[in-house]
Every structure is written in C-alpha cells, then in structure tokens.
Chains A and B, each alone.
Chain A
C-alpha cells in the first residue's frame, strides 16, 4: 500500500476510533478512580510486555512468516492489533516512548552511541521536556515510578544482562555516563565470557531515566531475564508489571547472531516458544494476566540500486496523530549519505514515525482470534498500561488529547 494512502486510511480510522473512545476517555477524566471508571479495562493486575525488534507487520504476521508460533499459534489465542505502529527510528526512541512518553530527539533516534545525560532547556505541552541527550533528568517520571507511587510492583527482565561484567553490570546495567555505549554491538562468546553477551542498553528503557537508575530499586528491579522463571512461581513474587527485553538474537534484531544462532524471526519464534508457555502457566497470569508482544519499530521502505549507488527510503510512517515533539527539529524528508565498499548509500527518511509493526495480546479477557484494526502506537500502549493500573496521570504523549487506549476492540472476552 502506498505510503500516503496508508496514512490517509490511518487518519480515517483514527477519526472513527476517536468518535468511539472519547466517551470512555471523558468518563475516566471525570472520575476519581480511573481504572474502575474505564468501561472496558478488565481486572488485569499482571502485565508482561515483551518487546521485539525491527519487523514489519507483513513480515511477522503475513503469509509464510518465519515466526509461525507468533503469527499463527498465539494469534489464534489472542488479539492481533493490525495497526500498531512504532514511534521512531532507530530503537531507543521507541522504548523511551513506551516507558516515559517522551518524544524522539536526535540522540535517542541515533540510539545514543554515547550514554550521555539529557540536558533540559525547557518544557513543552503534553509533558514533553525540551533539550537534547539520552538520560532524562530525575524530574521526568516513568511508568515504573507511577507504579511505585501506586504501591504496585514492576521489574525489567533483560536477556544476557551481566553476562560480561566488564560490559555491563548484572543489575541495572548501563555504560558510565558520558562513555561510549559498548553494548551497541553484540559480543560473541570468548574464553572469558563463554555465553557471549547480547544485552543492548538501548533496548532497556529503564536505563534512560535518572528517576530509575539513581534509585536503589534499579538494582533490585532491572535484572537478568533468567530470574523471571523464579519470580513467576507465585503470585506474590510476580511483579504487577514486567517489561521483558530478550537479547539481540532472541528479539530478532540480529541475523546472524553473535552466538551463531540464525536470529531474525526464526530466533524470535524459538524464544517465544520457550518463554510464553512459562508465563501462561504461571499463577499470576492465570489469575489476571495480560501478555503484550510488540515490536519497537518496523522497517518499511524501499531499496533501489542504480549505477550511482543505493538509495534506501525509510517511510517513517506513524499513526494516531503522533507528534514529532519539540526536539527533533528536522525538515522531512531527510537524507544521510555514506560510502560503503566504494558505493554511495543514501538513506532518505520520509517522516519521524516508527512504521507499522502490529502487536499481539494474550489474556483470559481477550476472546481467541480477536483482530483489531484500531490504530495504536507506543504512546497508546503507555496510556493503556496506566489505565490498567489505575494511574490517573498520563506521561508525556500518552496524555496527548484524543489518544486511544486499548478498548473493547481488544478486551473482547468476559
């Protein structure tokens, strides 16, 4: 589907959804108990977000997907959101949107090769902070902070974190402030690190907020993914909110992977086949759980070869009237050129969005085989999580006027 046509359709869908959901939103805004007041949010108390990497909707959920467990098996059991969008390129800006509602800036859009502080110079509407950089000041709150304020629990489970302690610590792992991020590339196995280390700080949203990394709770709550199975053994040890980032192979980012695995959707499939049953069989999920499997960004675009070089066009499509935010300051389309093996590569990015990825939700509150074509993005996800947990303050662009949270199109069960 041509880019403009898709955008037009998204806009039309958005208008329709706004017409439906504004009533629910207004009801919430007018009442003291937001969670109870939302007519369609079920009694979910345990949410597991699993964020995968860089896949278009058609590649993941289309015919002949390399992840049939996700595209077919799990799809049949849950709700497929066909119009779920990332909010930026490359990775990090998407994770920050999910966790704090802050918009892209040039550094987060480039995955913060240097792990540097965000220098705030002002504020903008919708809770946006104006400035440049990576690690947001302590005044910028996250969903994790909201949960703690509400007396709820959370954890981040990070694949491979701490495998190489020289690369990052085993808890709350991030580079030193001001230092290059050595986790930008996966580390293959060596004599000293037999398992290798495919943790990527840029896929761990908690690490970009001083409100988290400066608190002792960071070390107890942002841990290696191997701890999840133990935590799932009882309801009391299962956090209300679990954010799961697989390593760079299991999340499909790399192909081939540093550990020799195939990567891409094939490794996603293997990973989910192992992880999802563990969650599905946990007491907390069975009681009141919700699993959200999404992707940080899509990869929609074209590659055109010619005698003069290669032109890569990245759509950067968005939905839901996503705003660029106060910090990018770009005139789209933008072009970046570089030479690769004697060939000129021109990357044209048409807009600031993260393209269409789709997402899949599983819960006893969802009727198997549900399909929703309502447009959502990462800000919608954040708003939905806030609603689920009865939080009244929407962070950043989660508070964008008219933004739609997951509604009756998703929660179709009893």
Chain B
C-alpha cells in the first residue's frame, strides 16, 4: 500500500499523460516533407525527435507520437513504457497528435447563468484542455510534462534537462533563437524548448495534412463507395450510432474540413483494463477529469469523475489501441462495445458468481452514475437489439478507414510496419 501510494504520488507529481511516453520500438525518422517553419519551429522539430533528452537516451516525443502512425502509438500496448530503463508503465493510451492541436480550446465548463436552465439543460459538459483530462491550457505547458515524467523521459530537474539541451547538436540554434545566454537560466532554456516543440506541432504540415480519402471526397476529388456512404449514415444518424454528435464530421462554415471531435468531455464507462500495471491495485482508479493527475478545482467536483475528453477520429483505423485506457485493440471491438455496452453488458463487464453485471467497473461505485446513459445509443437496455449489427459495423469501419491520411501507409511501409488494416486481413 505504501509503495503504491509512493508510486502514485510520483506519478501524480511528475507524470501521466501522453506526449512522449515509451519506447521499445524502432526509432522513427522526422517527416521527409518540408514545410515553411519558423526558426523556433525548426528547432522544435529537432527536439521532438531527440532521444538524448531522456533518461534512457532512447525515448523522444516521436517515440510514442510516431509520425509513421499519424503521430500516434506505434504498437498495440495499452500504455507505453518509459523511465530510465523503458520499463516504467504509463497510465493512459497515447492519442494521435494530428489535426487537433491548433484547435484545442482552453478547458472550460461553461454553464447557463440561470439555475433553472442549468438543470433543464441536459448537456453542459466540460470542454477542452490538452491531454485526456484537459489539465493543460497551452501546448507548451503540456509539452513540459513528458520531459519530467518518471514514466516518460524522466528528467529529474530543469538543470538536468537544460544540461542535455546545452549539449545537443542544436544548442547553437537554441542560442540563436532564444538568446545567447539561454543556458545561464536553466528554467528559461527548458521553457523555451517546450515552446519550440509547440511551434513545430502547430506549424508543421505533417500534423495536419488533410490527405485522406474523406478529405478528397469533401473536395469532390474522390467518391465514397456505397458501403462507405452507408457507414457515414450510420455514424451520423442521431437515432443510430449518433457518433457525429461528438465526433463532428461536417464542414465548417468556411468549408474547413472537420476534426471529428467537439473537445467535450464524456464518460463512456469503458471496462477496466488489467493490461495496465497500475490497475493491479483495485484501489487505483483513473477518473479522468477528477484525477488522479488533475488537481485543480474541477477535479474536486464529483460530477466530473470518469469523464475524458473526446478524441479525434482521423486515422483511427490504423490504431491498435482504443479509449483512454487502451482496453480494446481493434476498431471492431471498440465499436461493438459502443453499441452493445447496454444491450449485452455481460459481454464487456465482469459478472461475479451469482451476482449481477458489474457495469462501468473501472470507476468507483459512487461515480458510475456519471456515465452517459442518456445519449443514443447509450440509452439501451438488456434485451434490446444493438443499434448496429455486424454488417453495420463493417460499414462504419469502411467509412472510418476513409479517414486514414495517404501518407500513413507510405510511412508504415517505409518502416516495414504492420497496419491495423493488415492485421484485419
């Protein structure tokens, strides 16, 4: 117990999150294409791909956010592993960094002023902020996290990291961009390094290529197959999948292509994942917005427990790990859970001998009431038919595959990697 507390404390103080976790996979190369980057962004690109900044010497931001995998995880591990020997378990699945970074709004929980309207409105969900729990309001603040996380790059002080930066091949560029005395102030050097990473992520076209078949279809340059179109209808239909109510898939008013997220928080009640080492302790609960890593006033609101930020779905079909805790390893299984969670709960949650299904078992019992049981198709009951059958799921998967960027298979092939599509075959 004491050890668990210690580990948790370390984790809470220094870690969790996702930007630069893990290793154990081949090093990835920077994107080949060039784009017009500012000097700070060009510098940030070098930092993003530099494993010498980690305690292990083997982990860079790109290790987990691999450009060959649309800046997502390159394997099927529920969480990634970092620390000095790449054996320290992360806490949450690694999200893709593509598309959303420029558009993540600061974290807010806007409510109607009028208390009567507050109660009458069913949907006043918190929104925004970086990471699964939204606890960072700027990308450079978030980028600081993995540098110091004990389960990620594991630098133990700003001095340690600043020293590594001063010895990097690009130290001269750091001086040129941020001032020749930058290393005289280690904290400033580290903060500026994070700022440079932010600029790279915001500016580089490889983070937002818009080259998928879906994008081409929006531009009238491609045709979706009947199956893909049917999948989109199932995805959109508010009386069926109702996915588009959160994963917005319509053009913006200016024709902007959609990001497939509304950045709102949602509690889906994903089953507990025993692949995550932390979950071996039954007292450990990842409750997203209300902790254990988030510590502000929002985390004190019991209504926020179990809520995680809605991820974007672009390139979702190449992933091998789904939801915040990586509980599922195929897109099909993730979709089956979504439509069968309430019609066939025994399929997804444990059933104690002689007992009833323990739904939403990754949350403390008191917080399970926060799980969404209102919105379609999460309002179903045992005995009802799921809104999708297997044929429907085939169609939805076909549609979601149209969100794969064209460069992804090329990059994967260059690595000799196996895609989720290949696995399915």
Interface residues of A, Cβ cutoff 8 Å to B: 53-55, 90, 165-169, 173-176, 179-180, 182, 185-193, 196, 248, 252-258, 260, 263-265, 299, 301, 303, 310, 312, 314, 336, 338-343, 345, 347
Contacts and interface: CB of A to CB of B under 8 A. Distances in A.
Given A168-B253, A253-B112, A182 B374 contact: no
B111 interface: yes
B110 A167 contact: no
Contacts of A256: 108-111
A258 B253 contact: no
B102 A345 contact: no
Contacts of A248: 110
A340 B104 CA distance: 26
B120 A191 contact: no
Interface residues of B, number: 38
B207 to A, nearest CB: 12
A340 B122 contact: yes
Contacts of B256: 165-166
B3 interface: no
A253 B110 CA distance: 10
Given A188-B105, A192-B103, A339 B374 contact: yes
B305 to A, nearest CB: 10
Contact of B105 (A190, A265, A340, A342): A190
B120 A345 contact: yes
10 contacts: A168-B253, A175-B253, A176-B251, A176-B253, A190-B105, A191-B101, A191-B202, A255-B113, A301-B116, A312-B120
Interface in B219-251: 244-245, 248, 250-251
Given A54-B114, A54-B117, A176-B253, 18 more contacts: A53-B113, A165-B254, A165-B256, A166-B254, A180-B245, A188-B107, A188-B108, A188-B110, A188-B127, A254-B110, A255-B111, A255-B113, A299-B114, A299-B117, A303-B115, A338-B122, A339-B374, A341-B303
Contacts of A342: 369-370
Contacts of A191: 101-104, 139, 202
B241 to A, nearest CB: 15
B202 to A, nearest CB: 6
A190 B106 contact: yes
B103 A190 contact: yes
B253 A169 contact: yes
A175 B370 CA distance: 31
A347 B115 CA distance: 12
A131 B300 CA distance: 47
B373 interface: yes
Interface in B356-371: 369-370
- Interface on chain A toward B: helix, strand, loop, or mixed SS? loop
Given A190-B106, A191-B202, A338-B374, A312 B252 contact: no
A169 B369 contact: no
B119 A312 contact: yes
Contact of A179 (B107, B108, B119, B250): B250
Contacts of B369: 341-343
B253 A254 contact: no
Interface string B81-125: 000000000000000000001111111111111111101101000
Q: Which of A54, A169, A174, A341 has the most CB of B within 10 A?
A: A341
Given A173-B253, A192-B102, A341-B369, A254 B112 contact: yes
Contacts of A179: 250
B385 to A, nearest CB: 22
Given A169-B254, A312-B119, A342-B369, A185 B110 contact: yes
A265 B303 CA distance: 26
Contacts of A314: 116, 120
B112 A165 contact: no
Nearest to B372: A339
A330 B116 CA distance: 21
A165 B113 contact: no
Contacts of B252: 165-167
B377 interface: no
Closest 5 interchain pairs by CB? Answer: A342-B369, A166-B252, A188-B105, A299-B114, A166-B256
A248 B202 CA distance: 28
A54 B248 CA distance: 29
Contacts of B110: 185-186, 188, 248, 254, 256-258
Contacts of B107: 188
Interface string B316-329: 00000000000000
B113 A264 contact: yes
B370 A341 contact: yes
Contacts of A253: 112-113
Nearest to B252: A166
Contacts of B108: 186, 188, 256-258, 260
